[in-house]
Amino acid sequence: MKKYGILFCTAILMTMGCDDSSNNDDNTFIKATQTFQGNIESVRAIDNTNIPTALVVASKAKKACIVEFNGKSFDEKDCLTIEETNDDREFTNSAVLNASQFAVTHTLLSKDSSGKTTSCDGEVIFYDTNTKQKTQVAVGSMPDAIAISLNKKYAITADEHDSNAEAWGKCTIEDIKPSVSIIDLSEGIEKAHVVKTIQFSKNSLGPREPEYVAIASDNDTVAVTLQDSHEVAIFSLKDVLATNEDILDESHTSISKLPPNDAGANPWPDGITAFDANGKHCFAIAGEWNDTLILIDNSGKTLANIRITEREVPTNFPCIDDNESPRYSPDSVTSFTQNDRVYVAATLRFAGAVIVYDVTDPNNPAFYRIDAVGENDVTGCSEEGSKVYPEGISSTQGAVWTANEGDDSITYIHY
């Protein structure tokens, strides 16, 4: 069992150098630097456990571990590791079924001796920590995200293909279509299999490459961010499953253009999370490039377009002050409820922080708080921004976990 060293701060200790910058003085703030390396990009909180528990994924190391926080340290309990020498292959994201079963998306990029890309395949690895059994399911090209329905009957992946060379695309094989893969889990993860695939094309702005996926609490409404085309695709899982074809096109989805910010910059949408508010199924989307959080309803209609500015982010936080770059760069989003209020939290990569909004009324969201994450970050604006570089985020039981790629750490915050 491995233990991770932590920096533990309470309201009493905040005067002793802890860099908690929240606007709520009575919470406990915990920061942890872990011992394993390999790009900590994804974290998934695990519900219904006696102590705070999460799945932590190191993308380059191809390692996914269940980690518990016992109040004093982080304990590594069970891990899935894939031994392979190809550094272009990564664990890109993850999802949790229960305390002993989880899934990770695995890109299978291959190149020949000249450096030419020969394969951009992808798979989901389902793993049971009790039996140590892993089940590998082939999905579309370069899967970048996965979501599991609340009833645990289906998993859906966003297979982005990642072909856009102008946007740092990794796959140069042109005859592959980006897609969404729907995996049936009704007979258990050992019998998981793809039942439907939805393929996407292009619009005038770029390829419709799925970046992230979320499933509403109705176990039916699915929303997928299409990053390069600045859109979101929404579909009914029941309707798609009722079709006769195994491979469908995007006409089986409803695609909506996402709004630019008030300066006219497009969002390049990244993370997406589902939440319920005012009796409706809603989604929150991270506008990675234009510093926005976009709230939409289940039809794709924009409810709010929040631009994150200096009003919310303290001046001592890192940022990038360049008109050709986002200042804070929201990446991943999560939602949680507490005291009958609904909140959305997002990682800000260039600010080294997690920002939280009250979205109980999604038409009128309100800034709630912001907290620095990771350890030993820079201050103020620079050409590179944060060294902590938080990416993944997840929440449960009034707490948020972040995966901080820049310093290979995880941060746990209980509100």
Higher pLDDT, 17 or 58: 58
Rounded CA gap, 141 and 91, in Å?
A: 14
The pLDDT value recorded for residue 32 is: 60
| Domain end marker among 225, 257, 289 | 257
Of 9-23, 141-155, 286-300, where does mean pLDDT reach its minimum?
9-23
Q: Three-class SS of residue 13?
A: helix
Rounded CA gap, 258 and 265, in Å?
A: 11
- Per residue in 369-397, pLDDT tens? 999 999 889 999 999 999 999 999 999 87
Mean pLDDT of 180-188: 98
In the predicted model, is pLDDT for residue 125 greater than 70?
A: yes
> Same domain, yes or no, for 39 and 186?
no
- Per residue in 212-253, pLDDT tens? 999 999 999 999 999 999 999 999 999 999 999 999 999 999
> Same domain, yes or no, for 225 and 354?
no
pTM, two decimal places = 0.92
The pLDDT value recorded for residue 29 is: 56
Closest to 331 in 3D by CA, of 253, 413, 386: 386
Mean pLDDT of 301-317: 97
Rounded CA gap, 368 and 168, in Å?
A: 34
Mean pLDDT of 84-98: 91
Mean pLDDT of 128-155: 97
> Same domain, yes or no, for 176 and 250?
yes
Higher pLDDT, 365 or 170: 365
**DSSP for residue 202:** B
> Same domain, yes or no, for 238 and 124?
yes
> Same domain, yes or no, for 199 and 330?
no
Q: What is the DSSP code string of 324-346? A: TS-SS-EEEEEEEEETTEEEEEE
Does any domain span residue 401?
A: yes
Using the structure block, give the residue that is written with the tokens 């009914």: 236
Question: How high does pLDDT run on average in the chain?
Answer: 90
> Same domain, yes or no, for 91 and 166?
yes
> Same domain, yes or no, for 173 and 137?
yes
Structural domain that includes position 24? 1-48+67-78+261-415
Q: Tell me how many domains the chain contains.
A: 2
In the predicted model, is pLDDT for residue 27 greater than 60?
A: no
- Stretch (H or E) spanning 241: helix 237-241
What tokens does 26 get? Answer: 């009575």
Domain CATH for 247: 2.130.10.10
